Structure 1
């Protein structure tokens, strides 16, 4: 693979691999509880289903944001999303209300990544049809804004 291409996607690849490991952890946890067939299994199964339902959306917006706009903030938001998804899953093992903070924070990360995609696409279209490119300015703003995502 070309070294320039790898430099532009390396962080995205790392976050994707961590998400695969997290999926394996979730599957093993559900498999372990499967033998008991009790209320905890039902909660874990529901949490696993919810995590798997949003997984393709997460991957799509993270990669699009990283490629269309900037790799570092997209990978940072992706990493934070994985932490919140873990918090959601572990919260589901207790009472269902313990998973709400992870759920809400995860939605915030997905919204940020989606916004990054839109800004990247609009910037590309402006560059193509209007001749003005704001990518450097927008990248600076998203790098600064990505750290603000940690504020609850």
Structure 2
């Protein structure tokens, strides 16, 4: 069992960090509700509250997609690369949240960066799965060719 844990430890750490970040975003909504006197279940109020609320909602909407491609890329492509991408994505989401809380325009740069990282995780997942399902007769020549490119490049 120890070997399996090592194979996913970085993914688990990034996942836990992501869960804690989601909790932080939720806490920010609770704080904004108190500051701007917006009682649940209301989701509208001053623009300052609505931006915090929408930032948290958007981060929550994308979190399952992020987790899925993080784990697929980590298991089928490379754990370290996926974990690094995961940290970049979560950093972008943190900047997105705080940028959006200040102004709607403040979310755009981090939003676009995070989207590119998310698409990269999708691509790594697809590549890893495609390679996994390749017949062994094709994997060996492909690996040799890639190794040659790395050595010569």
Same fold (TM over 0.5): yes
The Cα shift of 1:125 comes to 1.6
Q: Would you identify which runs of 4 or more consecutive aligned residues in structure 1 move more than 3 Å?
A: 133-138
CA displacement, residues 50-80 of structure 1 (integer Å, 9 cap, x when unaligned): 1111000000000000001100000000000
Aligned partners of 1:24, 1:64: CA distance in 2, in Å? 24
Unmatched segments (≥5 aa) in structure 2:
39-45
Partner SS, residue 110 of structure 1:
helix
Q: 1:20 to 1:121 in 2, by over 3 A?
A: same
- Taking structure 1 as reference, are residues 119 and 99 closer, same or farther at Cα in structure 2, changes over 3 Å only? same
1:84 to 64, 68, 92: 92
- Stretch of structure 1 that moved more, 9-18 or 33-42: 33-42
**Structure 1: where are the runs of 5+ without partners?**
142-152
Deviation at 1:132, TM superposition (A): 1.6
- Mark the structure with the bigger radius of gyration: 2
Kindly state the Cα deviation for residue 41 of structure 1 after the two structures are TM-superposed.
1.0
**Are 2:117 and 1:109 aligned?**
yes
Instruction: Give a deviation string over 1:89-123, Cα, whole Å, max 9, x none.
Output: 00011111111011001101111100001101111
Deviation at 1:135, TM superposition (A): 6.3
Count of aligned pairs = 138
